[in-house]
């Protein structure tokens, strides 16, 4: 082959799409909700966008008595129902040809031998080159068994330098239940896979709007000079959901909102918002800055004043009567698992000393919204009469992660008229208006990065451990309380969360 770059596909041209090379994705837990609603549709969407190689193959592994055709049918239904891009028969047919199913139990060495044979055959028939990514979309208690079987069957070997192809493993949160179990889990996976082959998924990092936090901060000059304690009064990070736990009682009870969302998504948002500029966008440089800021996070001493949690009771949502958490199927009547959690954190460094970061998340709240809001200090002096500025709040910069993706700047403006009345107004940037292309789903981006082997959007173990160090004392404090406050479904969360803010003379942004 000639070394001359093809002028039509010069890899130096950054405008060309990043395309995965020949590979097999092995999906464990293919019958689960995540596979059906997110992973299978994302794979189709990638194929539809032309980002998968022609021989790309997908192998499903599960405890089901299925053949290839059954697997294709399940995947077809998932794609029809949940894919982001339009259904195209030709794309589907091509993708389905590369779909295979291997039935088996996680503790059956024979099943893993069959898997090894299946991927080898794909290498020969579809040119996948011995490049395998193993996606463990299964409860973490099965990780030790599966990684051990991957090793025993020879599937885990190979290396990332390209000899005999790459071997990567993808794991989903929860990365442990606390610091101790996170370390153990990591040791288990590390016994078989080196750190650079482990891709930990925090799907928030796959969202365009979350990546845009770095673009906003470090590709512009006007924000960074005010992004510090000299101008920012406090920061609010919110992930509110209107849904309940749905059919996930088995996963959720005993985990709760803080472990489910704060330990990963919200602390990652905090890290991206508060970190210093990385030297480059390489995985190492980004991780180093995130780890640095996470190690400066301090949980206030008096946790009774700095945390709030609660559980949703029945109520009305969108005109429909909904059950309380304790009435949900599969939840024990005496469960004290929180479905809402709020914490106030401090960051002990020169940029943020004295600027509290308030994090909150909850289910069955009035509205679905995820955002990061920087609330700025009040103007030091207002040369206007008090009555003219009654409706003036503090300036704010809000990065809206979802559902209505964009950025809002709130500032005071003169009300048209003959007096100097001033009121807050919003200036909005909306993704949908500025860009014609709709944003890919987080899992499209993350799956593509796994196949390409591009790690910056995947948290490293150090970040996982630092996040547990922040959360562990809070969980321990909560575990000592006998009862948990109830809040009405469809509302704004427990009163104690409002009191937490009120004690500091502040209020949560309206949901």
Nearer to ligand BG6, 150 or 270 (CB): 270
Per CB under 6 A, the list member of 208, 241, 289, 465 interacting with ligand BG6 is 241
Taking the complex as a whole, the smallest distance from the CB of residue 45 to ligand BG6 amounts, in Å, to 16
SS3 175: coil
Taking the complex as a whole, the smallest distance from the CB of residue 260 to ligand BG6 amounts, in Å, to 5
What tokens appear for 480 in the block?
A: 């000592």
CA distances from 135 to 138, 153, 173, 183 (A): 9, 17, 12, 20
Taking the complex as a whole, the smallest distance from the CB of residue 202 to ligand BG6 amounts, in Å, to 8
Nearer to ligand BG6, 147 or 261 (CB): 261
Q: Is the peptide bond before 265 cis (omega within 30 degrees of 0)?
A: no
Q: Are 269 and 398 in contact (CB under 8 A)?
A: no
Cα 428 from chain centre: 24
Nearer to ligand BG6, 260 or 449 (CB): 260
* DSSP label of 351: T
Taking the complex as a whole, the smallest distance from the CB of residue 268 to ligand BG6 amounts, in Å, to 11
Q: Are 230 and 352 in contact (CB under 8 A)?
A: no
User: Cα-flanking dihedrals φ and ψ of residue 304, to 5°?
Assistant: -70, -25
Taking the complex as a whole, the smallest distance from the CB of residue 22 to ligand BG6 amounts, in Å, to 30
Taking the complex as a whole, the smallest distance from the CB of residue 248 to ligand BG6 amounts, in Å, to 7
Q: CA triplet 261, 262, 267: central angle to 5 degrees?
A: 120
Q: Are 286 and 462 in contact (CB under 8 A)?
A: no
Per CB under 6 A, the list member of 242, 260, 371, 465 interacting with ligand BG6 is 260
Burial (CB count within 10 angstroms: exposed 0-12, middle 13-18, buried 19+), residue 459: buried
Nearer to ligand BG6, 100 or 173 (CB): 173
Q: How many residues bind ligand BG6, per CB under 6 A?
A: 4
Q: Is 208 in the site for ligand BG6 (CB under 6 A)?
A: no
Contacts with ligand BG6, 333-372, as mask; x by CB under 6 A:
-------------------------------------x--
The catalytic residue positions are 265
Cα 141 from chain centre: 21
Three-state helix/strand/coil letters over 57-95: EEEEEECCCCCHHHHHHHHHHHHHHHCCCCCCHHHHHHH
In angstroms, the CA 463 to CA 459 distance is: 6
* DSSP label of 262: I
Q: Are 77 and 44 in contact (CB under 8 A)?
A: no
- Return binding residues for substrate: 203, 207, 241, 260, 363
Taking the complex as a whole, the smallest distance from the CB of residue 117 to ligand BG6 amounts, in Å, to 35
Element (H, E) at 425: strand 422-430
Question: Looking only at residues 60 through 89 of this chain, which bind ligand BG6 when binding is defined by CB under 6 A?
Answer: none
User: Residue ranges of the alpha helices (H) in 27-67?
Assistant: 33-34, 40-48
Nearer to ligand BG6, 310 or 453 (CB): 310
Alpha-carbon torsion angle 156, 157, 158, 159, nearest 10:
80
Alpha-carbon torsion angle 322, 360, 252, 303, nearest 10:
-120
- Return binding residues for NADP(+): 63, 105-106, 173
- Return binding residues: 63, 105-106, 173, 203, 207, 241, 260, 363
Taking the complex as a whole, the smallest distance from the CB of residue 108 to ligand BG6 amounts, in Å, to 29
Closest residue to ligand BG6 using C-beta atoms: 260
Question: Looking only at residues 366 through 405 of this chain, which bind ligand BG6 when binding is defined by CB under 6 A?
Answer: 370
Nearer to ligand BG6, 62 or 261 (CB): 261
SS3 194: coil
What tokens appear for 274 in the block?
A: 């508060």
* DSSP label of 491: B
Q: Are 274 and 290 in contact (CB under 8 A)?
A: no
Nearer to ligand BG6, 147 or 210 (CB): 210
Nearer to ligand BG6, 259 or 410 (CB): 259
Query: How many residues are recorded in the chain?
Result: 511
Contact residues toward ligand BG6 (CB under 6 A) are: 241, 260-261, 370
């Amino acid at each position: 082959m000639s070394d001359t770059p093809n002028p039509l596909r010069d890899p130096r041209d950054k405008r060309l799409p990043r395309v995965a090379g020949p590979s097999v994705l092995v999906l464990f837990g293919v019958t689960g909700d995540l596979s059906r609603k997110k992973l299978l549709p994302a794979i189709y969407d990638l194929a539809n966008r032309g980002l998968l190689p022609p021989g790309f193959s997908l192998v499903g592994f599960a405890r089901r008595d299925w053949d290839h055709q059954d697997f294709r049918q399940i995947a077809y239904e998932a794609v029809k129902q949940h894919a982001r891009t339009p259904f195209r028969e030709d794309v589907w047919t091509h993708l389905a040809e590369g779909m295979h199913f291997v039935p088996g139990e996680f503790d059956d060495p024979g099943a893993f031998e069959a898997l090894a044979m299946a991927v080898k055959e794909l290498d020969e028939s579809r040119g996948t080159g011995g490049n395998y990514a193993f996606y463990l979309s299964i409860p973490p208690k099965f990780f030790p068994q599966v990684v051990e079987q991957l090793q025993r069957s020879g599937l885990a070997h190979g290396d990332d330098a390209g000899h005999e192809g790459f071997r990567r493993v993808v794991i989903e949160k929860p990365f442990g239940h606390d610091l101790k179990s996170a370390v153990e889990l990591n040791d288990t996976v590390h016994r078989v896979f080196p750190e650079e082959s482990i891709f930990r998924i925090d799907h928030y990092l796959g969202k365009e709007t979350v990546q845009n936090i770095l673009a906003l901060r470090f590709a512009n000059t006007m924000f960074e000079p005010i992004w510090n304690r000299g101008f920012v009064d406090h920061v609010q990070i919110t992930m509110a959901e209107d849904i309940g736990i749905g059919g996930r009682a088995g996963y959720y009870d005993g985990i709760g909102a803080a472990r489910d969302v704060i330990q990963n998504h919200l602390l990652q948002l905090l890290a991206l918002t508060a970190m210093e500029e990385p030297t480059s966008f390489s995985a190492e440089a980004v991780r180093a800055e995130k780890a640095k800021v996470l190690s400066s996070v301090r949980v206030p001493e008096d946790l009774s004043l700095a945390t709030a949690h609660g559980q949703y009771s029945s109520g009305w949502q969108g005109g429909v009567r909904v059950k309380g958490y304790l009435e949900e199927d599969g939840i024990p009547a005496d469960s004290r698992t929180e479905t809402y959690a709020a914490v106030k954190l401090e960051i002990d460094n020169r940029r943020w000393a004295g600027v509290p970061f308030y994090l909150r998340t909850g289910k069955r709240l009035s509205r679905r919204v995820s955002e990061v809001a920087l609330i700025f200090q009040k103007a030091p002096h207002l040369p206007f009469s008090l009555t003219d500025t009654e409706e003036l709040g503090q300036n704010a910069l809000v990065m809206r992660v979802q559902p209505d993706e964009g950025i809002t700047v709130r500032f005071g403006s003169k009300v048209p008229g003959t007096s100097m009345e001033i009121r807050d107004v919003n200036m909005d940037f909306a993704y949908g208006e500025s860009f014609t292309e709709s944003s890919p789903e987080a899992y499209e981006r993350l799956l593509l990065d796994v196949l390409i082997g591009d790690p910056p959007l995947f948290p490293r173990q150090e970040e996982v451990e630092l996040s547990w160090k922040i959360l562990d004392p809070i969980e321990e404090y909560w575990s000592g309380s006998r009862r948990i406050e109830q809040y009405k479904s469809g509302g704004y969360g427990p009163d104690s969360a409002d009191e937490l803010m009120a004690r500091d003379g502040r209020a949560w942004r309206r949901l």
